[in-house]
Amino acid sequence: MKNTMYIQLAPFHLKEGVDEARLLETSEAFQANFVSKQKGILRRILVKAKHGGYADLVFFENKAAADRVAEAEATSEHCLALFQMVQPPDPNQPDMGVLSFEHVKTYE
């Protein structure tokens, strides 16, 4: 397998009653206590859509790193805290709405 950067975009909406301040507080804890400790994550960016909704944009060293992190998420209390704030993904969507990309070229 070619060792290439792997990128995932995970869109989500907040549950009723959850505001952005609470999201940011939980996201900071998630970053400090989970993301920063995962080997293979290069960068994570939280973005907000113009008409509502958010997304996590995560850059991994490669697909294997993304797969390892996905496994670790399943047992992480910090992931659970963040996931409890968002509307559940639609199980009928491929990969439950997470879009995955392989790096082709970077333009600076």
What are the tens digits of pLDDT across the range 30-61? 999 999 999 999 999 999 999 889 999 999 99
Global pTM reads 0.89
- Residue 82 in domain: yes
- Residue 108 in domain: no
Q: For the chain, what is the domain count?
A: 1
Residue 13: domain span: 6-102
Q: Give residue 103's Cα distance to chain centre.
A: 17
Give the pLDDT confidence score for residue 3 in this predicted structure.
63
Structure-model confidence comparison of residues 33 and 88, the more confident one:
33
**What is the maximum alpha-carbon separation in the chain?**
44
Identify the CATH number of the domain in which residue 96 sits.
3.30.70.100
Q: Give residue 67's Cα distance to chain centre.
A: 12
